[in-house]
Amino acid sequence: MQYDQNVLTRTERRIFALRTLYSRAGYRSYRMRKFEDYDLYSRNKDFLLSDRVITFTDTNGKLKALKPDVTLSIVKNIEDTPDALNRLFYDENVYRVSGRTGTFREIMQMGLECIGDAGNAVAAEVIDLAEQSLALVAEDYDYILRVSDVDMLTLLVDGMSDSGQVRSRLLSLVSAKNLHGIESLCAENDIPEEKCRTLTDLLKVYGTPPEVMPEIEEICRGTEAEAEIEELADVLRGLYPEGGAKADRKIVLDFSIVGDTNYYNGMAFEGYIDGVPECVLVGGRYDKLMRRMKKKSRAIGFAIYMDTLGMLGRNAGDRAIENFYDR
Partner 1 sequence: MGTIINVALPKGRLGEKVYKMFEAAGYGCEDIFNGRKLVFENKDAGVRYFWVKPSDVPIYVERGAADVGACGRDILLEYEPNVYELKDLGTGICRMVVAAPKGFKDDGEYPLRVATKFVNIAQDYYSSKGRDIDIIKLNGSIEIAPILGLSDVIVDLVETGNTLRANDLEVYEEIMDISTRLITNKSGYNFKSAAINRLLERI
| Residue among 95 and 206 whose Cβ is closer to partner 1 | 206
Burial class (CB in 10 A: 0-12, 13-18, 19+), 259: buried
Distance CA(286)–CA(272), nearest Å, equals 21
Q: Which helix (H) or strand (E) holds 164?
A: helix 164-175
Distance CA(304)–CA(107), nearest Å, equals 11
321 near partner 1, rule: CB under 8 A: yes
| Residue among 223 and 256 whose Cβ is closer to partner 1 | 256
| Residue among 78 and 212 whose Cβ is closer to partner 1 | 212
Task: Determine which residue in the list 176, 187, 227, 247 makes contact with partner 1, applying CB under 8 A.
Answer: 176
278 near partner 1, rule: CB under 8 A: yes
279 near partner 1, rule: CB under 8 A: yes
| Residue among 144 and 300 whose Cβ is closer to partner 1 | 144
Distance CA(124)–CA(104), nearest Å, equals 35
Sheet holding 36-37, edge to edge: 36-37, 63-65, 55-57
31 near partner 1, rule: CB under 8 A: no
Contact letters for partner 1, residues 258-277 (x by CB under 8 A): --------------xxxxxx
Give the E-state strand segments of 98-250 in sequence order.
Answer: 104-116, 143-149
Task: Determine which residue in the list 162, 222, 324, 327 makes contact with partner 1, applying CB under 8 A.
Answer: 324
Burial class (CB in 10 A: 0-12, 13-18, 19+), 291: middle
| Region binding partner 1 by CB under 8 A among candidate stretches 8-16, 73-81, 130-138, 140-148 | 140-148
Task: Determine which residue in the list 66, 252, 268, 300 makes contact with partner 1, applying CB under 8 A.
Answer: 252
Distance CA(129)–CA(21), nearest Å, equals 8
327 near partner 1, rule: CB under 8 A: no
| Region binding partner 1 by CB under 8 A among candidate stretches 149-157, 215-223, 296-304, 315-323 | 315-323
User: In angstroms, what is the minimal distance from the CB of 308 to partner 1?
Assistant: 10
User: In angstroms, what is the minimal distance from the CB of 114 to partner 1?
Assistant: 26
Distance CA(63)–CA(60), nearest Å, equals 9
User: In angstroms, what is the minimal distance from the CB of 207 to partner 1?
Assistant: 9
Cα separation values, 145 from 133, 180, 253, 268, Å:
10, 26, 9, 10
168 near partner 1, rule: CB under 8 A: no
Secondary structure (3-state) at 204: helix
Residues making contact with partner 1 (CB under 8 A): 99, 142, 144, 146, 176-181, 206, 252, 256, 272-279, 315-318, 320-321, 324-325
